[in-house]
Structure 1
Amino acid sequence: MHRTESIAVVIPSFKVTRQILDVIAGIGPEVDRIYVVDDKCPDGSGKLVREQCLDPRVTVLEHDANQGVGGAVITGYRAALADGAKVIVKVDGDGQMDTSLIPRFVAPILAGEADYAKGNRFFNLEHIRSMPPVRLFGNAVLSLLTKVSSGYWDLFDPTNGYTAIHADCLRFVPFDKLSRRYFFETDMLFRLNTLGAVVVDVPMDAVYADEVSNLKVSRIVTEFAAKHLRNFCKRLFYNYYLRNMSLASIELPLGLFLICFGTVYGITHWLRSAQHEVVTPAGTVMLAALPVIMGVQLVLAFLAYDIASVPRRPLHKKTSYSRIHA
């Protein structure tokens, strides 16, 4: 891979002492710096790397308290930015991510086609058969929720932690507002959409052994659903009312109002007719049905506009142009 840009890798480390050294050893020469972030690991993975890893590219960073995977990645991001990295890749320390794929992740970014690249384990339908059913169901649900909340309708597998990002895009991400734990990757997508960053999926295989999944259906239904709803509302406000106004800004609220009006009006008159044991007049039925039909059409029109509004021009190219002509 011919390049002049500096590439860094961030590895959050927590209870991965058995795999972390092999993960580092598998990182190729295309990477200039490696940041291992010990997130208050009870097994002392940071100390292990410091004592046994001889790779001069490695820097070990340690937290005084556990901050979660998001907190560890943010610490690594900040260190990489301070050292001048142009593309920053994040891989897990448990050995389930093939580090030989790093050139594939950074390629669309170096080519100026994307700001952020993330893995997609669902690209090859034959390989996803190895994914445990609970993970498959959970990721399918999360992917649908993430499409709605983040606005990236063409992406899948939102919880995939194998990512790469351009430094000029990363500098605009509000680190202090990002979720620090399991919602980190999904929250990152929401923040990137509000910035207008281009995100692409990178096909990769799903690799699972006998580990127990931490993905709980109850978490999806409660905590994750609430956060997705929050991000969706924020995205609507930022993209359709604060920064820009379009026909879609009117279509969604008007459509929801008509649906609610038609539904409430129809149910009210249906109950009244049932109570008096009379047939509901055809005019009343139409007066209830038409607003619902019109409302659904308006909501679908909004969705079509939202899907077509996925960012297409990389943010880092726009910021580079601004600096050159400043």
Structure 2
Amino acid sequence: MRVAAVIPCFRVRRHILDVVERALGQVDFVYVVDDCCPEHSGDLVSEHCNSPKVRVIRHEINQGVGGAVTTGYVAALADGIDVVVKLDGDGQMDPDYIPSLIAPILAGTADYTKGNRFFDIDFLRDMPPVRVFGNSSLSFINKISSGYWNIMDPTNGYTAIHASALRAIDARKLAKRYFFESDMLFRLNVVRAVVRDVPMPAIYGDEQSNLKIGNVLLDFPKRYLKNFFKRFFYNYILRDMNIGTIETVLGGTLLVGGTLWGIGNWISHGIEGEVTPVGTVMLAALPIILGSQLLLAAIGYDIYNVPTEPLQKIQPPFIKVASPRSAAIPTQT
């Protein structure tokens, strides 16, 4: 299989040449995507890298890390690349781990692999505590949203994907900025791609993250919620109505209905200065308890329903394959 690395560039001038050089030792081709970098990282690579295995693609308008990676994906598909690795240009991702990252894909046991910094406690010693807490919280929320209950560290951007899975999703619909990694997992679940975690540490040095915590708190929750409802519709209503559908709908209805009815009666009796009758409390508690149990059962079914058969082996005929030409490639050299 032909393997390529896509390296999005934005304010990475100090690290990009070293990252490209080390990546060339592990892959067959490198796509450097200059995302309208104010430091002109793409020009730096063009000036110092004469290898025919390196292509620089330039964005005239900044599109964010997701937009830059998508451009690289489209170019790789057009060139017939089999496996595409996403590698940041700031030096946080060690290219020497690429063989471990792509091994499950080459073995035919996965369509998409990603780094997991939470596998070993030693991997977390150098990670700032705020990042440990934030990524742990996002991991649980992402499990519910994407349906990949076997995946940890969803915001880890060190990933690899097989061309069959990349063709199965519409790259134009991927989130353009920092929600890109989480959105990718949602879209891979919809097409039933197999995802695997690969343990590896992160490297923290003098690089500066462009991600703002405030943007995460305001933007990510609504995106996770939207993806959850879309996934539920696709997997549990449109394509198949099963016991998980019944448990979710009935459990949610009982839980919300019991809660609202109980609160309403509690407020009503409080206004009248009366104590809420025990029977009323029990009538509110019963649907809440039943609803909670049904939702737990639905989660159990969803965990059991995690994709296990790689797309690269089965190539389902019902999947709409996106053309490599479906997204325009910006000016490139």
| 1:104 alignment partner in structure 2 | 100
Tell me, yes or no, if the aligned pair for 2:26 and 2:96 is still in contact at 8 Å.
no
Partner of 2:182: 186
Q: Secondary structure at the match of 1:254?
A: helix
Match of 1:150 in 2: 146
**Residue 59 of structure 1: how far off its partner (Å):** 1.0
For 1:51 and 1:215, the matched residues in 2 are separated by 29
Call closer, same or farther: CA 1:254–1:44 in 2, change over 3 Å: same
Q: Under a length normalisation based on structure 1, what TM-score does the superposition of the two structures give?
A: 0.92
Cross-structure match for 1:271: 267
Identity of aligned residues (%): 57
Structure 1 CA distance, aligned partners of 2:317 and 2:285? Answer: 52
Q: Which amino acid aligns with 1:225?
A: P
**TM-score (structure 2 length as normaliser):** 0.91
Separation in 2 of the partners of 1:210 and 1:79? 31
- The equivalent of 1:88 in structure 2 is 84
Per-residue deviation, 1:252: 1.0
Give the equivalent residue in structure 2 for 1:167. 163
Decide which of 110, 113, 129 is 1:133's aligned counterpart.
Answer: 129
Bigger mean CA deviation after superposition, 190-199 or 206-215? 206-215
1:138 touches 1:215 (CA, 8 Å); kept in 2? Answer: no
> Letter of the aligned partner of 2:183 in structure 1?
D
Name the amino acid aligned to 1:138.
G
Query: 1:84 deviation in Å?
Result: 0.9
For the 8 Å contact 1:135–1:215, the answer to whether it is kept is no
CA RMSD of aligned residues (A): 1.8
- Give the drift of 1:54: 2.9
Which whole-Å deviations, capped at 9, do the CAs of 1:208-237 have from their partners, x for residues lacking one? 124444444432332100100110110010
Alpha-carbon spacing, 1:220–1:48, altered in 2? closer, same or farther (3 Å): closer
2:244 to 248, 259, 265: 248
Q: Is contact 1:138-1:220 (8 Å) kept?
A: no
In the alignment, which of 253, 257, 260 is matched to residue 261 of structure 1? 257
How far apart, CA to CA, are the structure 1 residues paired with 2:225 and 2:83?
A: 31
* Residue of structure 1 in register with 2:37 after alignment: 41
Specify the code of the residue in structure 1 equivalent to 2:167: R
Consecutive unaligned residues in structure 1, runs of 5 or more? none
Distance 1:63 1:253 in 2: 45
Q: Tell whether the 8 Å contact from 2:139 to 2:154 is kept in structure 1 after alignment.
A: yes
SS at match of 2:198: strand
Judge conservation of contact 2:194–2:307 (CA < 8 Å) in 1.
yes
Q: Any conservation in 2 of the 1:28–1:100 contact (CA below 8 Å)?
A: no
Relative to structure 1, the CA distance from residue 214 to residue 21 in structure 2 (aligned partners, 3 Å threshold; closer, same or farther) is closer
AA partner of residue 259 (structure 1): L
